[in-house]
Amino acid sequence: MSQEEREQNRESEFDLASNMAWFLTGAFIGAAVALLYAPKSGKETRQYLADKVQQSKDAVSDTSGSIVEAGKDMFDRGRQLVDDAADLFDRGRKLVRG
């Protein structure tokens, strides 16, 4: 895998996390606006909020798991890249020494 492909993969993973954060922010704002205009009683509104908060917690939990997994993958690829670079350096040094 070339350096350019690695760079694109990193940017793609970063974009995924960024998009997910913006999506969740938009969902929260949308829910808040909906509550302001919803003609429900206090008890119904509290129950609705509790349900939405639980759904948000579940979504964040799922998303954070995905982000953690992507971070682990990136770390492993970075480690492999460093190991490959060290091997190339050692081979180059041996070639120079003869």
pLDDT in tens, 9-31: 666 666 777 788 888 888 888 88
- Amino acid at the residue 36: L
Q: Which domain range does residue 24 map to?
A: 3-97
Q: Are 56 and 28 in contact (CB under 8 A)?
A: yes
* Residue 52 CA: distances (Å) to CA of 4, 31, 35, 73, 88: 41, 8, 11, 31, 53
Give how many domains the chain has, as a whole number. 1
pLDDT in tens, 41-78: 778 878 888 898 898 888 888 777 778 888 888 889 98
CA dihedral 74, 76, 82, 86 (to 10 degrees): -160
